[in-house]
Amino acid sequence: MVRASASTATRSLFLVALASCAPERVHDRAAFVLPAVKATATAPLVVHDVPTQVARADLTIAPSGLVETMRDADLPVSLVDEVDDAFVWRVDLFAHLRAGDAFSVWHRDGTLVAASVPIRGDAFMVARYDGDLAPVGFYDKDGLGMTSALRSRPVDLGRITSRFGQRFDVFTGAAGFHRGVDYGVAVGTPVVAVGAARVKSVGRSTSAGNFIKLAHAGGYESAYLHLDRIDVAKGDIVGANVVIARSGNTGRSTGPHLHYELRLAGIALDPLATMPSSTVALGPLARREHLAFIKQLQQMEDTHDGRTHR
Ligand SMILES: [Zn+2]
């Protein structure tokens, strides 16, 4: 769903010469309140947009899941949505994170500043870029934006009940191939277009129930099955993240869920294994600024005490 981005809190601008920004000099929160350093004539100027009150929480995902883990740590509930929003165009966190995984969240006054999560064994860190050299938003540690043409999942915080791949048919018991991902969501859950698209078809069948197929740029198609209510018609042009339907339990379905499929040139893809590429990247100067900021965040201590960050 379309959400307004979190408001930018008070900004403090510091002019810092690159030469004075050596990592060993910025190892705690004090780094954020260093007085401005006069730039030398030769070093390129970097305008740091550094928050003055950032808290860091290092957490381990409990068996109950990411949402419960953050709630149990007394982190603001709104942060869960912000973390999800920061990643959902590149990767579905809920499909990858497991109990026992370590992850870190940096926030300021309840607004997400950065997050680092393990994806396939590598730390995937994103941080908000708040400067003047590029659009404000989340970027990864390579300076790539966290937006893409297709979001990883068509529902908010959907629990995955069946993945893409070989499985036994729940009706016949026969081995078969599941060409999509099932999200166990209550009837009436908003279903969004994973990307800007033309509505290719809308219909009803005994197996798929009420369904929508969308045609996206680049030969991608997405399909949404077992819907309760459909809000679009064939030929409509829809924007990314726009609600197109409500999930249901229609057709050949054993319970309320959304079956979602993604195809490229007619071939079914595993939506959870597909890592869409970013459509935005920071320029060289903004990238240096962003990486210096990430380095400062990484060198912070865990400041979370589980009580004061509601
Ligand atoms: Zn399915």
Most confident among 10-19, 23-32, 147-156, 162-171 (mean pLDDT): 147-156
**Domain locations in the chain as residue ranges:** 1-148+278-310, 159-269
E-only strand ranges, the chain: 13-17, 45-49, 55-60, 102-108, 111-119, 122-129, 137-140, 159-162, 165-168, 175-178, 181-184, 190-192, 197-205, 209-215, 220-230, 237-238, 243-247, 258-264, 267-269
CA of 77 to the centre of ligand 1 (A): 30
Cβ neighbours of 306 (radius 10 Å): 10
CA of 153 to the centre of ligand 1 (A): 14
CA of 262 to the centre of ligand 1 (A): 12
Supply the pLDDT for residue 310.
35
Q: Kind and range of the H or E element at 292?
A: helix 284-299
Fold of 1-148+278-310: Nuclear Transport Factor 2; Chain: A, (3.10.450)
Q: Mean pLDDT over all residues of the chain?
A: 81
**Rounded mean pLDDT of 7-18?**
30
CA of 156 to the centre of ligand 1 (A): 17
Q: Over the stretch 19-78, which tens digit does the pLDDT of each residue have? A: 333 333 333 333 333 333 333 333 343 445 445 688 899 999 999 888 889 888 888 888
- The rounded distance, in Å, linking the Cα atoms of 223 and 94 is 20
pLDDT band at 261 (very low <50, low <70, confident <90, very high): very high
Q: Over the stretch 77-93, which tens digit does the pLDDT of each residue have? A: 889 889 989 999 999 98
Task: Spell 21-43 as b/e; 16+ CB within 10 A means b.
Answer: beeeebeebebbeeeeeebeeee
CA of 253 to the centre of ligand 1 (A): 8
Pick the CATH number of 159-269 from 2.70.70.10, 3.10.310.30, 3.40.50.2000, 2.40.50.140: 2.70.70.10
**250 neighbors 209 (Cβ within 8 angstroms):** yes
Supply the pLDDT for residue 52.
62
Supply the pLDDT for residue 305.
59
**Rounded mean pLDDT of 108-132?**
91
Most confident among 78-87, 173-182, 254-263 (mean pLDDT): 254-263
Beta bridge partners, 300, equal none
CA of 182 to the centre of ligand 1 (A): 5
**Rounded mean pLDDT of 212-227?**
96
